[in-house]
Amino acid sequence: MSIEDEIAFLSTVPVLARLGDGALRSLAIAADTYAMKRGDVLFTAGESADGAFVIQEGTISLQPERGEEILVGPGTLLGETALLAETRRPATATARETCKALRISRATFLKVLDSYPDAARRLRELVVARTDQAAREMDNIRSSLARGKGEE
């Protein structure tokens, strides 16, 4: 894939698309490509995460330590939180078939945000909107639980 193709691909990933072409170009240039065959493990649940992966081709199985398997494919960003903060992988990611992924390290991502303040601002706005949405959802759950207790 050419750099232009990788930029176009990264622009289809909702979180990354907000960054803009210049930032995406920097990410595309710095990203590492991982080629996997069926059964290869991309990362393991519980391990430290120092970046994210964008699935370019194939299907990845995500198996949390507890819970159902989830299958993801091209355009999926795995490890979004790890781009901004230290965290652990919540699931093991295994290739279900021949796959290709781009790895973006946290260090690279933070350097890109430093170099592109407008991209950082747009990302901050997204994080704030998501945090507000999560808070509203928690309030709705609390209200529902409180109503349920009152009916007993």
Spans of all domains in the chain: 3-116
pTM of the model: 0.84
Given pLDDT bands bounded at 50, 70 and 90, which one contains residue 151? low
User: What's the Cα-to-Cα distance from 30 to each of 23, 46, 67, rounded to whole Å?
Assistant: 11, 26, 34
Q: Does position 135 have pLDDT exceeding 60, yes or no?
A: yes
Given pLDDT bands bounded at 50, 70 and 90, which one contains residue 152? low
Lowest-pLDDT range, 56-70, 101-115, 121-135? 121-135
Domain covering 3-116 in this structure, CATH number: 2.60.120.10
Q: Does position 101 have pLDDT exceeding 60, yes or no?
A: yes
The angle formed by the CA atoms of residues 13, 82 and 40, to the nearest 5 degrees, is: 75
Mean pLDDT value of segment 135-144 = 84
Q: Does position 102 have pLDDT exceeding 80, yes or no?
A: yes
Mean pLDDT of the chain: 92
